[in-house]
């Protein structure tokens, strides 16, 4: 059974190009040039992943992402203009799983789509092989892999699946300095590319949710030039 991909972009050439590449790879595609029609599709159809352009004529991609996250957990990839770091951070904050800057190679988009769908399926698979340790309690931070919940001083944290996976991997390797490359390949399950700021952006958002002071974080510490660490 083919996965259903939602494309929302008012630049028809880009939307049409993505549609062709995704269909050639066996995906079913719902394509829209505005936000309202896309929202109606989300309510009426089964969607496995959404590709949202930030700039749309009626409702921007951020608002669509926000509406999706109110009810659904399927992956969301944001399309942003080159160099718009604020757009990337905003998208991740609202629950997007990845972002791609324009102009892009359509084959890269297809590869990212496949990666996100693999992650989503693994995350929702009830028969995931359990690790020896299902829960860590580190100075008031409690993370449980079995129920995918995380508490800070008994307050439930609202983490995206990727944020949870990053935090779990760091807790599992408590005391070890984990490089960005190792973290990326462990969480995203794909090859790390130099100058990839994806890990850094997610760590920054994770620290916000942990209410970490920027200068002296209590939990996720940066070891400059090496990586990240949760100290024992």
pLDDT bin (cut points 50, 70, 90) of residue 154 is confident
The two tokens of residue 215 are 């200068």
Same domain? For 80 and 105 the reply is yes
Tally the domains of the chain.
2
Whether the predicted pLDDT of 193 surpasses 80: no
Same domain? For 11 and 116 the reply is yes
CATH number at residue 204: 1.10.10.10
The two tokens of residue 221 are 């510490």
Last residue of a domain, one of 105, 124, 143: 124
Q: Taking all residues of the chain, what is their mean pLDDT, rounded to a whole number? A: 88
Same domain? For 105 and 210 the reply is no
CATH number at residue 34: 3.40.50.2300
Same domain? For 67 and 15 the reply is yes
Whether the predicted pLDDT of 80 surpasses 90: no
pLDDT at 83: 64
Whether the predicted pLDDT of 131 surpasses 60: no
Q: Which residue has the higher pLDDT, 90 or 20?
A: 20
The 10s digit of each residue's pLDDT in 18-46 is: 999 999 999 999 999 999 999 999 999 99
Report the alpha-carbon distance of residue 115 to residue 153 in Å, rounded.
Answer: 34
Beta-carbon contacts of 108 under 8 Å, excluding residues fewer than 6 positions away, are: 100
Same domain? For 106 and 195 the reply is no
Same domain? For 183 and 110 the reply is no
pLDDT at 57: 87
pTM beyond 0.75, yes or no: no
Give exposure, 122-153, as e/b (b: 16+ Cβ within 10 Å).
eeeeeeeeeeeeeebeeeebbbebeeeebebe
Within a domain: 129: no
Within a domain: 130: no
Same domain? For 67 and 111 the reply is yes
CA angle 49, 53, 59 (to 5 degrees): 100
Whether the predicted pLDDT of 113 surpasses 80: yes
β strands within the chain, DSSP E = 4-8, 28-32, 49-53, 76-81, 98-102, 135-138, 141-144, 149-152, 155-156, 220-223, 227-230
Residue 148's domain comprises 135-230
Same domain? For 37 and 75 the reply is yes
């Amino acid at each position: 059974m083919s996965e259903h991909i939602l494309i929302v972009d008012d630049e028809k050439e880009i939307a049409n190009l993505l549609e062709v590449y995704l269909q050639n790879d066996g995906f079913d595609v719902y394509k829209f040039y505005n936000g309202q029609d896309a929202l109606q599709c989300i309510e009426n159809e089964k969607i496995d992943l959404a590709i949202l352009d930030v700039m749309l004529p009626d409702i921007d991609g951020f608002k669509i992402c926000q509406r999706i996250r109110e009810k659904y957990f399927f992956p969301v990839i944001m399309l942003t203009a080159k160099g718009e770091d604020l757009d990337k951070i905003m998208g991740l904050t609202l629950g997007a799983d990845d972002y791609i800057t324009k102009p892009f190679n359509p084959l890269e988009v297809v590869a990212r789509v496949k990666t996100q769908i693999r992650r989503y399926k693994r995350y929702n698979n009830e028969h995931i092989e359990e690790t020896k340790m299902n829960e860590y309690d580190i100075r008031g931070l409690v993370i449980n892999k079995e129920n995918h919940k995380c508490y800070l001083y008994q307050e439930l944290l609202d983490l995206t699946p990727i944020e949870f996976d990053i935090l779990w991997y760091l807790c599992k390797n408590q005391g070890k300095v984990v490089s960005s490359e190792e973290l990326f390949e462990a969480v995203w399950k794909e090859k790390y590319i130099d100058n990839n700021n994806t890990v850094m952006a997610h760590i920054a958002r994770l620290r916000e949710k942990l209410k970490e002071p920027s200068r002296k974080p209590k939990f996720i510490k940066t070891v400059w030039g090496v990586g990240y660490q949760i100290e024992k």
